Amino acid sequence: MPTSRSYRDSCGIARALDVVGERWALLVVRELLFAPQRFSELRHALPHISSNLLADRLRELEHNGVIRRGLAPAEGPQVYELTEWGRKLEPILLALGDWGIDAPQPPPPTVLSATSVLIFLQGVARPDPAAPPMTCRLELDGRVWTVRLASGRVQVQPGEPTTADVSLRAEPKTLNALLADPATLATACADGSAAVVGDLSAIGRLLHAVNDPWPSDGHTSVS
């Protein structure tokens, strides 16, 4: 049974919270920021939410016009995606995440979704604007992403790149650890927690863009 509880407050803030203020709602939106996702992918990204609650949240968010059930792309699986209005939450969520970095760390074990690492990567990486463009294929939790470094910016897109300098497969937590300390890349490759195909130095450039940004401005990992 979905929630139907309102602040009964005319303020825009309260009305926004009537829509996305319920528990888990904004984390579901977070997971949809970069790409549509299936029910099972959302469950994997948010392992602590129960299936009935996720179903409730999806129903409510759909009913309120924040997400929609994906118009199945040629017999593809059922997916959930943000509406135009829902997409406008992106800058707000990014700002909230930036604010939350200073919050006390929750006690481990904690979870880290692929989307979370990509948000972090896109948010704080500042590649050398002078360096030549680069394309990286990332495989996280079984999904493929295209990451482009070009003209001082990082661009994350869902799906396979048409061409790439390098491919990296790892768990989100492993990638986060690499972003925090690029020196562990060799170890991660050796023990199999990271699998690299192609130009290894390109991965170095990617990790470098986070740790030695142009210009420098703090943050070294999600944690």
Partner DNA sequence: CAGGATCCTTAGCGATACTG
Partner DNA sequence: CAGTATCGCTAAGGATCCTG
d(CA 122, CA 125): 6
State the Cα–Cα distance between residues 214 and 130, nearest whole angstrom: 10
Under a CB-based contact definition with an 8 Å cutoff, are residues 80 and 46 in contact?
Answer: no
Residue closer to DNA by CB (options 31, 41) is: 41
| Residue among 112 and 134 whose Cβ is closer to a copy of itself | 112
DSSP codes of every residue in 78-104? --EEE-HHHHTTHHHHHHHHHHHTTSP
Q: Using CB under 7 A, which of 38, 68, 148, 153 touches DNA?
A: 38
Using CB distances below 5 to 8 A depending on partner kind, what does residue 50 bind out of a copy of itself, DNA, none? Answer: DNA
**Among residues 52 and 216, whose Cβ is nearest to DNA?**
52
Nearest to 170 by CA among 148, 187, 157: 187
Can you tell me which of 45, 49, 118, 136 binds DNA, judged by CB under 7 A?
Answer: 49
Residue of 9, 78, 220, 223 that binds DNA (CB under 7 A):
78
The reply to whether 122 sits near DNA by the rule CB under 7 A is no
151 binds DNA, rule: CB under 7 A: no
Binding residues with DNA: total (CB under 7 A) = 22
Pairing assessment for the beta strands 166-170 and 194-198 based on DSSP bridges: antiparallel
Q: Which is nearer to a copy of itself, 12 or 132 (CB)?
A: 12
CA 89 – CA 184 distance, rounded (Å):
35
Binding site for DNA (CB under 7 A): 1, 3-5, 22-24, 38-41, 48-53, 55-56, 58, 77-78
